[in-house]
Amino acid sequence: MMSMNVCTYEPDSPHMIEMLPRVVNLVVYYMALHYYQPMFTLIGGGFKKLEQASREMGSVLPKGVHWIRDSAVKFDPDNKRVHTGSGDQISYEYMVIAMGVALNFHLVPGLVEALEKDPMVCSNYSPKYVSKTSKAIHAFKEGNAIFTFPNTPVKCAGAPQKIAYLTDWHFRREGKRERAVVMYNTSLPVIFGVKKYAASLMDVVKEKGIQLNVRRNLVEVRSDKKEAVFENLDNPSEKITYQYEMLHATPPMSTPEVLRTCEKLVDQGGFLDINRNTLQHKKYPNIFGVGDCTNLPTAKTVAAISEQLRVLKKNLFLQMEGKALKPLYDGYSSCPLLVGFDKCILAEFDFDGEPLETFPFNQGKPMRFPFHLKRDFMPHLYWLALLTGYWDGPGRYRKLMHLGMGR
Protein backbone atom coordinates (compact mmCIF):
# COMPACT_ATOMS: atom_id res chain seq x y z
CA MET A 1 0.00 0.00 0.00
CA MET A 2 1.23 3.45 -0.87
CA SER A 3 0.61 6.49 1.20
CA MET A 4 0.62 10.00 -0.20
CA ASN A 5 -0.47 13.43 0.72
CA VAL A 6 -2.64 14.40 -2.18
CA CYS A 7 -3.93 12.11 -4.83
CA THR A 8 -5.58 13.20 -8.00
CA TYR A 9 -6.84 10.66 -10.41
CA GLU A 10 -7.50 10.70 -14.12
CA PRO A 11 -9.15 7.74 -15.85
CA ASP A 12 -9.67 6.90 -19.48
CA SER A 13 -11.60 9.89 -20.74
CA PRO A 14 -10.48 13.16 -19.23
CA HIS A 15 -11.59 16.43 -20.66
CA MET A 16 -8.28 17.96 -19.74
CA ILE A 17 -5.70 16.96 -17.30
CA GLU A 18 -6.77 18.95 -14.33
CA MET A 19 -3.92 19.12 -11.98
CA LEU A 20 -2.22 21.30 -9.51
CA PRO A 21 1.42 21.32 -10.40
CA ARG A 22 2.64 22.67 -7.11
CA VAL A 23 0.41 20.59 -4.89
CA VAL A 24 -0.17 17.18 -6.34
CA ASN A 25 2.41 14.53 -5.65
CA LEU A 26 0.59 11.56 -7.04
CA VAL A 27 -1.38 10.97 -10.22
CA VAL A 28 -3.20 7.73 -10.86
CA TYR A 29 -3.71 7.52 -14.57
CA TYR A 30 -2.93 5.26 -17.46
CA MET A 31 -3.29 7.01 -20.80
CA ALA A 32 -0.10 7.29 -22.85
CA LEU A 33 -1.17 10.50 -24.61
CA HIS A 34 -2.67 13.71 -23.34
CA TYR A 35 -5.01 15.56 -25.71
CA TYR A 36 -5.81 19.24 -25.99
CA GLN A 37 -9.43 18.56 -26.82
CA PRO A 38 -10.57 22.12 -27.61
CA MET A 39 -8.62 21.66 -30.84
CA PHE A 40 -10.81 18.76 -31.92
CA THR A 41 -13.38 21.06 -33.56
CA LEU A 42 -10.63 22.48 -35.76
CA ILE A 43 -9.34 18.99 -36.57
CA GLY A 44 -12.82 17.83 -37.58
CA GLY A 45 -13.13 21.04 -39.59
CA GLY A 46 -9.91 20.16 -41.43
CA PHE A 47 -7.83 23.08 -40.14
CA LYS A 48 -5.51 21.18 -37.77
CA LYS A 49 -4.12 17.65 -37.46
CA LEU A 50 -4.62 15.29 -34.52
CA GLU A 51 -0.84 15.19 -33.92
CA GLN A 52 -0.98 18.92 -33.12
CA ALA A 53 -3.41 18.23 -30.28
CA SER A 54 -1.48 15.54 -28.44
CA ARG A 55 1.61 15.19 -26.28
CA GLU A 56 3.19 12.30 -24.45
CA MET A 57 1.58 12.09 -21.01
CA GLY A 58 4.96 11.87 -19.29
CA SER A 59 6.02 15.15 -20.88
CA VAL A 60 3.09 17.17 -19.51
CA LEU A 61 3.16 15.90 -15.94
CA PRO A 62 5.04 18.24 -13.63
CA LYS A 63 8.40 17.19 -12.24
CA GLY A 64 8.21 15.57 -8.85
CA VAL A 65 4.80 14.04 -9.45
CA HIS A 66 4.69 10.31 -9.01
CA TRP A 67 2.81 8.84 -11.98
CA ILE A 68 1.12 5.52 -11.33
CA ARG A 69 0.22 3.88 -14.64
CA ASP A 70 -2.88 2.24 -13.28
CA SER A 71 -6.59 2.91 -12.90
CA ALA A 72 -8.78 3.46 -9.88
CA VAL A 73 -11.39 0.74 -9.56
CA LYS A 74 -12.93 1.68 -6.23
CA PHE A 75 -13.14 4.70 -3.95
CA ASP A 76 -13.33 4.08 -0.21
CA PRO A 77 -13.73 7.61 1.19
CA ASP A 78 -14.49 6.51 4.76
CA ASN A 79 -11.11 4.78 5.00
CA LYS A 80 -9.43 7.37 2.77
CA ARG A 81 -8.33 4.81 0.23
CA VAL A 82 -8.42 4.22 -3.50
CA HIS A 83 -8.23 0.68 -4.86
CA THR A 84 -6.42 0.28 -8.16
CA GLY A 85 -6.77 -2.09 -11.10
CA SER A 86 -3.59 -3.93 -10.23
CA GLY A 87 -4.87 -4.72 -6.73
CA ASP A 88 -3.01 -1.96 -4.85
CA GLN A 89 -4.57 0.34 -2.32
CA ILE A 90 -3.52 3.95 -2.06
CA SER A 91 -4.23 5.88 1.09
CA TYR A 92 -4.47 9.64 1.08
CA GLU A 93 -4.94 12.53 3.39
CA TYR A 94 -6.51 14.79 0.75
CA MET A 95 -7.83 13.84 -2.64
CA VAL A 96 -8.74 15.86 -5.73
CA ILE A 97 -11.01 14.02 -8.12
CA ALA A 98 -10.68 15.22 -11.70
CA MET A 99 -11.85 12.32 -13.81
CA GLY A 100 -13.55 14.04 -16.71
CA VAL A 101 -16.51 12.32 -18.33
CA ALA A 102 -16.81 9.04 -20.23
CA LEU A 103 -18.03 8.96 -23.83
CA ASN A 104 -20.83 6.41 -24.06
CA PHE A 105 -21.12 5.81 -27.80
CA HIS A 106 -22.27 2.26 -27.02
CA LEU A 107 -25.52 3.51 -25.47
CA VAL A 108 -26.91 4.41 -28.90
CA PRO A 109 -27.65 1.10 -30.70
CA GLY A 110 -25.81 0.89 -34.03
CA LEU A 111 -23.66 3.97 -33.45
CA VAL A 112 -20.34 2.22 -32.75
CA GLU A 113 -20.82 -0.03 -35.76
CA ALA A 114 -21.61 3.00 -37.94
CA LEU A 115 -18.54 4.87 -36.66
CA GLU A 116 -16.36 1.85 -37.37
CA LYS A 117 -17.75 1.01 -40.81
CA ASP A 118 -19.34 4.04 -42.45
CA PRO A 119 -16.87 6.74 -43.57
CA MET A 120 -19.72 9.28 -43.49
CA VAL A 121 -20.41 8.79 -39.76
CA CYS A 122 -18.02 10.68 -37.50
CA SER A 123 -17.56 12.35 -34.13
CA ASN A 124 -15.25 15.17 -33.10
CA TYR A 125 -15.50 13.93 -29.52
CA SER A 126 -13.13 10.99 -29.89
CA PRO A 127 -9.50 10.94 -31.08
CA LYS A 128 -10.49 7.71 -32.81
CA TYR A 129 -13.14 9.32 -35.00
CA VAL A 130 -12.31 13.03 -35.18
CA SER A 131 -10.19 12.77 -38.31
CA LYS A 132 -13.12 11.14 -40.15
CA THR A 133 -15.12 14.36 -39.93
CA SER A 134 -13.25 16.49 -42.46
CA LYS A 135 -13.03 13.53 -44.85
CA ALA A 136 -16.81 13.07 -44.64
CA ILE A 137 -17.36 16.80 -45.25
CA HIS A 138 -15.31 16.66 -48.45
CA ALA A 139 -16.81 13.34 -49.61
CA PHE A 140 -20.37 14.62 -49.12
CA LYS A 141 -22.34 14.92 -52.36
CA GLU A 142 -25.97 15.61 -51.54
CA GLY A 143 -28.62 14.91 -48.92
CA ASN A 144 -28.86 15.38 -45.17
CA ALA A 145 -25.85 16.32 -43.06
CA ILE A 146 -27.10 15.65 -39.53
CA PHE A 147 -25.50 16.91 -36.30
CA THR A 148 -26.65 15.68 -32.89
CA PHE A 149 -26.61 16.77 -29.24
CA PRO A 150 -27.46 13.99 -26.71
CA ASN A 151 -29.81 13.93 -23.75
CA THR A 152 -27.09 14.08 -21.08
CA PRO A 153 -24.71 16.72 -19.77
CA VAL A 154 -21.82 17.05 -22.23
CA LYS A 155 -18.38 18.59 -22.25
CA CYS A 156 -18.06 21.67 -24.46
CA ALA A 157 -21.74 22.11 -25.18
CA GLY A 158 -20.90 24.33 -28.16
CA ALA A 159 -18.91 21.69 -30.04
CA PRO A 160 -21.90 19.79 -31.50
CA GLN A 161 -23.08 22.93 -33.32
CA LYS A 162 -19.68 24.45 -34.14
CA ILE A 163 -18.98 21.58 -36.52
CA ALA A 164 -22.33 22.18 -38.23
CA TYR A 165 -21.25 25.77 -38.96
CA LEU A 166 -17.85 24.67 -40.24
CA THR A 167 -19.52 22.07 -42.45
CA ASP A 168 -21.86 24.74 -43.85
CA TRP A 169 -18.77 26.86 -44.61
CA HIS A 170 -17.04 24.01 -46.47
CA PHE A 171 -20.19 23.09 -48.41
CA ARG A 172 -20.52 26.67 -49.65
CA ARG A 173 -16.89 26.83 -50.69
CA GLU A 174 -17.21 23.56 -52.55
CA GLY A 175 -20.41 24.72 -54.27
CA LYS A 176 -22.62 21.98 -52.86
CA ARG A 177 -24.57 23.85 -50.19
CA GLU A 178 -27.80 23.92 -52.25
CA ARG A 179 -27.77 20.15 -52.48
CA ALA A 180 -27.46 19.75 -48.71
CA VAL A 181 -29.81 19.98 -45.76
CA VAL A 182 -27.69 20.90 -42.75
CA MET A 183 -29.69 19.76 -39.76
CA TYR A 184 -28.91 20.29 -36.06
CA ASN A 185 -30.95 17.96 -33.86
CA THR A 186 -30.57 18.82 -30.20
CA SER A 187 -32.07 17.34 -27.04
CA LEU A 188 -32.13 20.79 -25.49
CA PRO A 189 -35.15 23.09 -25.81
CA VAL A 190 -32.87 25.92 -27.02
CA ILE A 191 -29.79 26.33 -29.21
CA PHE A 192 -27.59 27.37 -26.26
CA GLY A 193 -28.15 27.65 -22.53
CA VAL A 194 -27.13 31.30 -22.14
CA LYS A 195 -29.73 33.78 -23.39
CA LYS A 196 -27.46 36.44 -24.78
CA TYR A 197 -25.48 34.02 -26.96
CA ALA A 198 -28.52 31.93 -27.89
CA ALA A 199 -29.95 35.07 -29.53
CA SER A 200 -26.76 35.60 -31.58
CA LEU A 201 -26.65 31.93 -32.53
CA MET A 202 -30.26 31.98 -33.72
CA ASP A 203 -29.24 34.74 -36.15
CA VAL A 204 -26.38 32.54 -37.38
CA VAL A 205 -28.70 29.54 -37.82
CA LYS A 206 -31.16 31.66 -39.82
CA GLU A 207 -28.51 33.28 -41.95
CA LYS A 208 -26.94 29.93 -42.84
CA GLY A 209 -30.27 28.21 -43.45
CA ILE A 210 -29.58 25.48 -40.92
CA GLN A 211 -32.56 23.35 -39.93
CA LEU A 212 -32.79 23.42 -36.13
CA ASN A 213 -34.85 20.69 -34.43
CA VAL A 214 -35.08 20.95 -30.64
CA ARG A 215 -35.93 18.14 -28.18
CA ARG A 216 -34.68 15.49 -30.62
CA ASN A 217 -32.50 12.74 -29.16
CA LEU A 218 -30.55 10.22 -31.29
CA VAL A 219 -31.65 6.71 -30.21
CA GLU A 220 -30.48 4.44 -33.04
CA VAL A 221 -28.30 4.40 -36.14
CA ARG A 222 -28.99 1.91 -38.94
CA SER A 223 -25.88 2.24 -41.05
CA ASP A 224 -26.99 -0.42 -43.54
CA LYS A 225 -29.90 1.85 -44.53
CA LYS A 226 -28.16 5.14 -43.66
CA GLU A 227 -30.91 6.00 -41.21
CA ALA A 228 -30.70 7.94 -37.96
CA VAL A 229 -33.60 7.50 -35.54
CA PHE A 230 -34.52 10.24 -33.08
CA GLU A 231 -37.04 10.35 -30.28
CA ASN A 232 -39.15 13.40 -29.57
CA LEU A 233 -38.31 14.10 -25.94
CA ASP A 234 -41.65 15.84 -25.42
CA ASN A 235 -43.44 12.69 -26.61
CA PRO A 236 -40.99 9.74 -26.29
CA SER A 237 -43.24 7.26 -28.11
CA GLU A 238 -42.83 9.39 -31.25
CA LYS A 239 -39.80 8.31 -33.31
CA ILE A 240 -38.55 10.33 -36.26
CA THR A 241 -36.28 8.67 -38.82
CA TYR A 242 -34.04 10.67 -41.12
CA GLN A 243 -31.97 9.47 -44.02
CA TYR A 244 -28.42 10.73 -43.62
CA GLU A 245 -25.64 11.27 -46.13
CA MET A 246 -23.36 12.43 -43.33
CA LEU A 247 -23.86 12.06 -39.57
CA HIS A 248 -21.85 13.80 -36.84
CA ALA A 249 -22.75 12.23 -33.50
CA THR A 250 -22.16 13.58 -30.02
CA PRO A 251 -22.25 10.60 -27.64
CA PRO A 252 -24.21 10.46 -24.39
CA MET A 253 -21.82 11.16 -21.51
CA SER A 254 -21.60 10.31 -17.83
CA THR A 255 -18.96 10.14 -15.15
CA PRO A 256 -16.76 7.02 -15.36
CA GLU A 257 -18.28 3.95 -13.76
CA VAL A 258 -15.92 3.87 -10.77
CA LEU A 259 -17.17 7.27 -9.70
CA ARG A 260 -20.78 6.93 -10.81
CA THR A 261 -21.25 3.79 -8.73
CA CYS A 262 -19.72 5.26 -5.57
CA GLU A 263 -22.93 6.49 -3.95
CA LYS A 264 -21.13 8.22 -1.12
CA LEU A 265 -19.41 10.59 -3.49
CA VAL A 266 -21.99 11.41 -6.14
CA ASP A 267 -25.34 13.15 -6.55
CA GLN A 268 -28.40 11.55 -8.15
CA GLY A 269 -27.06 12.21 -11.62
CA GLY A 270 -23.81 10.38 -10.80
CA PHE A 271 -21.64 13.52 -10.67
CA LEU A 272 -19.19 14.31 -7.85
CA ASP A 273 -21.23 16.19 -5.27
CA ILE A 274 -19.27 19.32 -4.36
CA ASN A 275 -20.02 22.77 -3.01
CA ARG A 276 -20.40 25.03 -6.03
CA ASN A 277 -18.46 27.93 -4.54
CA THR A 278 -15.65 26.19 -2.62
CA LEU A 279 -15.25 22.97 -4.70
CA GLN A 280 -15.11 20.93 -1.49
CA HIS A 281 -17.03 17.67 -1.34
CA LYS A 282 -20.33 18.08 0.51
CA LYS A 283 -19.72 15.14 2.89
CA TYR A 284 -15.95 14.55 2.90
CA PRO A 285 -13.98 17.73 3.71
CA ASN A 286 -10.68 16.14 2.61
CA ILE A 287 -12.01 15.58 -0.93
CA PHE A 288 -12.23 18.27 -3.61
CA GLY A 289 -13.25 18.14 -7.24
CA VAL A 290 -12.68 20.08 -10.44
CA GLY A 291 -13.82 19.84 -13.99
CA ASP A 292 -16.25 17.76 -15.96
CA CYS A 293 -16.85 14.99 -13.41
CA THR A 294 -18.32 17.42 -10.86
CA ASN A 295 -21.88 18.60 -10.44
CA LEU A 296 -20.92 22.28 -10.71
CA PRO A 297 -23.94 23.76 -12.49
CA THR A 298 -21.99 25.41 -15.28
CA ALA A 299 -20.73 24.53 -18.77
CA LYS A 300 -18.00 21.87 -18.81
CA THR A 301 -15.04 23.58 -20.52
CA VAL A 302 -11.31 24.00 -19.96
CA ALA A 303 -11.92 27.71 -19.44
CA ALA A 304 -14.16 26.82 -16.49
CA ILE A 305 -11.47 24.48 -15.19
CA SER A 306 -8.87 27.24 -15.38
CA GLU A 307 -10.93 29.36 -12.96
CA GLN A 308 -11.73 26.37 -10.79
CA LEU A 309 -8.00 25.68 -10.39
CA ARG A 310 -7.52 29.06 -8.77
CA VAL A 311 -10.30 28.36 -6.28
CA LEU A 312 -9.08 24.83 -5.66
CA LYS A 313 -5.50 25.90 -4.92
CA LYS A 314 -6.72 28.47 -2.42
CA ASN A 315 -9.26 26.26 -0.66
CA LEU A 316 -7.21 23.09 -0.55
CA PHE A 317 -4.44 24.96 1.26
CA LEU A 318 -6.95 26.61 3.60
CA GLN A 319 -8.38 23.16 4.41
CA MET A 320 -4.88 21.80 5.06
CA GLU A 321 -4.21 24.70 7.41
CA GLY A 322 -7.52 24.16 9.21
CA LYS A 323 -8.89 27.55 8.15
CA ALA A 324 -12.32 28.49 6.79
CA LEU A 325 -12.75 28.03 3.04
CA LYS A 326 -13.62 30.91 0.72
CA PRO A 327 -16.71 30.74 -1.54
CA LEU A 328 -14.80 32.00 -4.57
CA TYR A 329 -16.14 30.20 -7.64
CA ASP A 330 -18.84 32.13 -9.50
CA GLY A 331 -19.41 29.52 -12.21
CA TYR A 332 -17.23 31.23 -14.80
CA SER A 333 -17.15 29.28 -18.03
CA SER A 334 -16.46 30.16 -21.62
CA CYS A 335 -17.07 28.71 -25.03
CA PRO A 336 -15.50 30.16 -28.16
CA LEU A 337 -18.30 29.42 -30.64
CA LEU A 338 -16.85 29.17 -34.14
CA VAL A 339 -19.63 30.17 -36.49
CA GLY A 340 -17.63 29.83 -39.69
CA PHE A 341 -14.00 29.48 -40.60
CA ASP A 342 -12.86 32.88 -39.39
CA LYS A 343 -15.61 34.12 -37.09
CA CYS A 344 -16.24 33.41 -33.46
CA ILE A 345 -18.69 34.38 -30.72
CA LEU A 346 -16.74 34.31 -27.45
CA ALA A 347 -19.34 33.30 -24.88
CA GLU A 348 -18.30 33.88 -21.24
CA PHE A 349 -20.80 33.57 -18.43
CA ASP A 350 -21.47 32.61 -14.78
CA PHE A 351 -23.75 30.20 -12.89
CA ASP A 352 -26.79 32.34 -13.64
CA GLY A 353 -26.10 32.62 -17.36
CA GLU A 354 -25.08 36.26 -16.93
CA PRO A 355 -22.31 37.35 -19.33
CA LEU A 356 -18.83 37.74 -17.73
CA GLU A 357 -16.96 39.05 -20.75
CA THR A 358 -13.21 39.59 -20.58
CA PHE A 359 -12.93 42.14 -23.37
CA PRO A 360 -14.46 45.62 -23.47
CA PHE A 361 -16.52 44.95 -26.61
CA ASN A 362 -19.71 43.01 -27.26
CA GLN A 363 -18.57 39.39 -27.50
CA GLY A 364 -22.03 38.28 -28.65
CA LYS A 365 -21.18 39.47 -32.16
CA PRO A 366 -19.34 37.06 -34.46
CA MET A 367 -15.83 38.51 -34.85
CA ARG A 368 -12.40 37.67 -36.17
CA PHE A 369 -10.32 38.47 -33.09
CA PRO A 370 -11.75 35.69 -30.86
CA PHE A 371 -11.26 33.27 -33.75
CA HIS A 372 -7.51 33.98 -33.68
CA LEU A 373 -7.59 33.75 -29.90
CA LYS A 374 -9.08 30.27 -30.20
CA ARG A 375 -6.98 28.97 -33.09
CA ASP A 376 -3.60 30.60 -32.49
CA PHE A 377 -3.36 31.64 -28.85
CA MET A 378 -5.32 29.19 -26.68
CA PRO A 379 -3.23 26.10 -27.50
CA HIS A 380 -0.09 27.90 -26.25
CA LEU A 381 -1.91 29.20 -23.21
CA TYR A 382 -2.94 25.64 -22.44
CA TRP A 383 0.37 23.84 -22.94
CA LEU A 384 2.66 26.54 -21.59
CA ALA A 385 0.63 28.19 -18.87
CA LEU A 386 -2.34 26.11 -17.76
CA LEU A 387 -0.56 22.77 -17.48
CA THR A 388 2.34 24.41 -15.69
CA GLY A 389 0.11 26.11 -13.14
CA TYR A 390 0.56 29.71 -14.29
CA TRP A 391 -2.83 30.29 -15.95
CA ASP A 392 -5.74 30.33 -13.57
CA GLY A 393 -8.41 31.95 -15.65
CA PRO A 394 -9.04 35.40 -17.11
CA GLY A 395 -10.71 36.85 -13.96
CA ARG A 396 -8.03 39.38 -13.07
CA TYR A 397 -7.61 40.45 -16.73
CA ARG A 398 -11.35 41.02 -17.03
CA LYS A 399 -11.14 43.50 -14.17
CA LEU A 400 -8.20 45.25 -15.81
CA MET A 401 -9.95 45.44 -19.20
CA HIS A 402 -12.97 47.01 -17.56
CA LEU A 403 -10.78 49.47 -15.64
CA GLY A 404 -11.66 47.91 -12.31
CA MET A 405 -15.39 48.32 -12.85
CA GLY A 406 -17.92 45.51 -13.01
CA ARG A 407 -17.26 41.95 -11.87
Number of residues that bind ligand UQ1 (CB under 6 A): 14
Burial class (CB in 10 A: 0-12, 13-18, 19+), 32: exposed
Query: Is 334 one of the binding residues for ligand UQ1 (CB under 6 A)?
Result: yes
Contacts to ligand UQ1 from residues 344-363, by CB under 6 A: 358
- Kindly indicate which of the ranges 70-78, 80-88, 198-206, 377-385 contains the residues binding ligand UQ1, using the contact rule CB under 6 A: 377-385
For residue 266, the minimal CB distance to ligand UQ1 (Å) is 26
- Kindly indicate which of the ranges 4-12, 41-49, 128-136, 302-310 contains the residues binding ligand UQ1, using the contact rule CB under 6 A: 302-310
Query: Is 184 one of the binding residues for ligand UQ1 (CB under 6 A)?
Result: no
Active site residue 262: no
Contact 321, 350 (CB under 8 A): no
Query: Is 44 one of the binding residues for ligand UQ1 (CB under 6 A)?
Result: no
Distance CA 277, CA 261 (A): 25
Exactly one of 122, 293, 335, 344 is catalytic; which is it? 335
Task: Candidates 105, 140, 169, 382: give the one binding ligand UQ1 (CB under 6 A).
Answer: 382
For residue 35, the minimal CB distance to ligand UQ1 (Å) is 12
Query: Is 371 one of the binding residues for ligand UQ1 (CB under 6 A)?
Result: no
- Kindly indicate which of the ranges 80-88, 144-152, 290-298, 300-308 contains the residues binding ligand UQ1, using the contact rule CB under 6 A: 300-308
- Kindly indicate which of the ranges 20-28, 49-57, 199-207, 299-307 contains the residues binding ligand UQ1, using the contact rule CB under 6 A: 299-307
> What's the CA dihedral at 297, 71, 159, 386 to 10 degrees?
80
Residues in touch with ligand UQ1 (CB under 6 A): 38, 302-303, 306, 334, 336, 358, 378, 381-382, 386, 391, 393-394
